[in-house]
Amino acid sequence: MSDYHLVARTGFGLSTPLEEEWDGFAMREDVSAGCSWISVAPGEVEQLSAACAKGLATALPEPGRFTVGRFEDGELRILSAGDCQYFVIGGVAAMPEVIARAAAVTEQSDGWIALWFSGAKTRDVMERLSGLDLHPAAFATGACARAPIEGMAAFIACVDPAELRLLVLIQRSSARSFADHVRHAAASACGGR
């Protein structure tokens, strides 16, 4: 009988989270971020928002925005993902029952990867990847948007425009291609590593 050894891997198939830096730009994988998708019927948004305020320490965001819930052991973000649909990203091991009673909840942690983009040249890198206007006047703190990046679905959230910190969610199935596109854009915007 063979001995099997299970080895934990990140969304990129690595033994440690992806971390890459260029002059003025960094990309870091957040392996601690759980991810759930929430859908609710149009007439039940207010009920779900109240349930989120109770169970997740923050109400639902307006369209094109995200909200932040803070806990003793971390924080989570609820991103507007479309009409009556939301992503919950962050430190919730299991969705509270009050949320599950108010909406349809699907665990998505194995399907999406959370990345942090930061640095003075983040906007330059993202301009090469996405058609979004990321100027602080157009994409301020709390803004989020769905955007195709080289044909791949992505969600982009502006956490801090002054420090140019973005939270980017990508589908795990296209993670390696996505990272290659980011590397190419970063090399172009930052002049190499």
- The domain spans of the chain are 19-32+110-190, 34-107
Place of tokens 């169970």: 55
Q: Could you tell me which of 109, 127, 102 has the C-alpha nearest to residue 39?
A: 102
- CA within 13 Å, CB half, 74: 10
Across-strand partners of 112? 171
> Is this prediction's pTM over 0.85?
yes
Residue with token string 């109240």: 50
- What architecture is domain 19-32+110-190? 2-Layer Sandwich (3.30)
Q: 19-32+110-190 and 34-107 share one CATH topology? A: no
pLDDT of residue 59: 95
Q: Which of 121, 146, 153 is nearest to 132 (CA)?
A: 146
> Which whole number is the average pLDDT over 45-69?
94
pLDDT of 7: 78
pLDDT for the residue numbered 10: 84
pLDDT (0 to 100) of residue 192: 66
The pLDDT value given to residue 75: 87
| Cα(98)–Cα(115) distance, integer angstroms | 29
Whether residue 92 has pLDDT greater than 90: no
CATH 3.40.50.300 fits 34-107, yes or no: no
Q: How far apart are CA 39 and CA 104, in angstroms?
A: 5
**Separation CA 172–CA 44 (nearest Å):** 30
pLDDT exceeds 90 at position 9: no
Query: Alpha-carbon distance 59 to 65, whole Å?
Result: 12
As a whole number, mean pLDDT of residues 51-80 equals 90
Statement: residue 1 has pLDDT above 80? no
**pLDDT tens digits, one per residue of 108-165:** 888 999 999 999 999 999 999 998 888 888 999 999 999 888 888 899 999 998 888 9
Is residue 26 within 8 A of residue 35, CB to CB? The reply is no
Mean pLDDT value across residues 4-20 = 86
Cα–Cα distance measured from residue 183 to residue 178, given in angstroms and rounded to the nearest whole number: 9
Choose between 92 and 177: higher pLDDT.
Answer: 177
Where residue 45 falls among pLDDT bands split at 50, 70, 90?
very high
* Distance from C-alpha of 139 to C-alpha of 174, rounded to nearest angstrom: 25
Closest CA to 170 of 19, 73, 29: 29
Instruction: Determine what percent of the chain is predicted with pLDDT higher than 90.
Output: 61
